[in-house]
Amino acid sequence: MTLLRRLLQTPEGVIGLAILAVLLAAGLLAPVLSPGDPLRIAGRAMLTPFTDTGLPLGTDRLGRDVLAGLLYGARTSLAVGIAAAFSAMVLGLFVGMAAGFAGGVIDEALMRVVDASQIVPGFLLALAFVSIIGVSVPVIVFAIALGAWADPARLTRAQVLSIRERDYVAAARVIGMHPAEIAFKEILPNALPPVLALSATIVAGAILTEAALSFLGLGNPNLATWGSMIAEGRSVLRSAAYLSVLPGLALAITVLGVHLFSEGLTKALDSGGGPR
């Protein structure tokens, strides 16, 4: 049974995958559903939702289309979240594999680096990094990944320490297989599934961090983001709550979808059995 089939047999996996599929489709189809610049003036300012068929979710204080902002915000959030999670996973896998497989002084030194990286909370590290280096999508992605790689590194190391003592790894050593070949052909494929399940959590954290940075004015001002939309609606929260509520709901639904997908993926991996 494939991983996808096992995932679709879990209620969490089905719901989470459906939410993420809708969000991904919204982000990809944003230029089709709402052509043009999402930050352009589209109509009268503070137009309430469902009063104009051309602007179904109304406009903000500057007359920008709220629906366009939500669609393009989905693209920004998912792109930053996935890119940051991928970067953190690659770095974490590399460090965890090196520490767990090499052992000894290398393991001790790398784990002290991991400990040091976890002293500062990830959001504060990203906040300081973006404030110093400057605001751009690559910088935001790197800043978020810089605060998220330690957990994958620790989990990878734990998996490698367990797997490297198994019989099939010992057999590979006996037949003279190169250590790098053992690491990448015998150990990594079996250590990877639990770490992949962790990646969904990193995506959710990255999306929230990007939204928080945008809320504080440290996001890319040339991109529509949910965090900046929430910040834009703060000053008119009583008279036009929808300006903050709608992007807030979009953010909450996205994080919920990622969480459910992570739960379903974990169950699917568990039902598929452990390492060979």
HEC secondary structure over the chain: CCHHHHHHCCHHHHHHHHHHHHHHHHHHCHHHHCCCCCCCCCCCCCCCCCCCCCCCCCECCCCCEHHHHHHHHHHHHHHHHHHHHHHHHHHHHHHHHHHHHHCHHHHHHHHHHHHHHCCCCHHHHHHHHHHHHCCCHHHHHHHHHHCCCHHHHHHHHHHHHHHCCCHHHHHHHHCCCCHHHHHHHHHHHHHHHHHHHHHHHHHHHHHHHHHHHHHCCCCCCCCCCHHHHHHHCHHHCCCCCHHHHHHHHHHHHHHHHHHHHHHHHHHHHHHCCCCC
Residue 165: its pLDDT value, please?
80
181 lies in some domain: yes
Distance CA 121, CA 100 (A): 25
64 lies in some domain: no
Distance CA 242, CA 86 (A): 33
Distance CA 33, CA 59 (A): 16
Q: What mean pLDDT is predicted for residues 66-80?
A: 93
Q: What mean pLDDT is predicted for residues 242-260?
A: 94
Would the pLDDT of 72 be above 60? Answer: yes
Token couple for 34? 């709402």
Q: Name the amino acid, one letter, at 125.
A: L
Residue 276: its pLDDT value, please?
47
The torsion angle over the Cα atoms of residues 150, 78, 221 and 236, rounded to 10 degrees, is -110
Distance CA 34, CA 54 (A): 10
Closest CA to 208 of 85, 29, 95, 26: 85
Total number of domains constituting the chain:
1
Residue 231: its pLDDT value, please?
92
48 lies in some domain: no
Q: What mean pLDDT is predicted for residues 143-149?
A: 91
Residue 274: its pLDDT value, please?
47
The enclosing domain of 111 has a CATH number of: 1.10.3720.10
Q: What mean pLDDT is predicted for residues 130-140?
A: 88
Lowest mean pLDDT of 17-21, 98-102, 191-195, 231-235, name the range. 191-195
Would the pLDDT of 275 be above 70? Answer: no
Would the pLDDT of 147 be above 60? Answer: yes
72 lies in some domain: no
101 lies in some domain: yes
Q: What mean pLDDT is predicted for residues 196-203?
A: 85
CA 2 to chain centre: 24
**Mean predicted lDDT score pLDDT of the chain:** 88
The torsion angle over the Cα atoms of residues 86, 91, 94 and 100, rounded to 10 degrees, is -110
Q: What mean pLDDT is predicted for residues 113-126?
A: 88
The pLDDT tens digits of the residues spanning 18-66 come to 999 999 999 999 999 888 889 999 989 999 999 988 899 999 999 999 9
Q: What pLDDT band is residue 197 in, cutting at 50, 70 and 90? A: confident
Distance CA 246, CA 244 (A): 6
Residue 200: give the domain boundaries. 3-43+80-271
Residue 255: its pLDDT value, please?
92
Residue 109: its pLDDT value, please?
93
Q: Which residues are paired to 60 by β-bridges?
A: none
Phi, psi dihedral angles at 172 (to 5 degrees) = -65, -35
Would the pLDDT of 271 be above 80? Answer: no
Would the pLDDT of 273 be above 70? Answer: no
The pLDDT tens digits of the residues spanning 152-185 come to 999 999 989 888 888 888 888 888 888 888 888 8
Q: What pLDDT band is residue 272 in, cutting at 50, 70 and 90? A: low
123 lies in some domain: yes
* 221-231 burial: b if 16+ Cβ within 10 Å, else e: eebbbbbbbbb
Q: What pLDDT band is residue 3 in, cutting at 50, 70 and 90? A: confident
Would the pLDDT of 1 be above 60? Answer: no
Residue 134: its pLDDT value, please?
84
71 lies in some domain: no
245 lies in some domain: yes
* Dihedral sign (CA 34, 37, 42, 46): positive
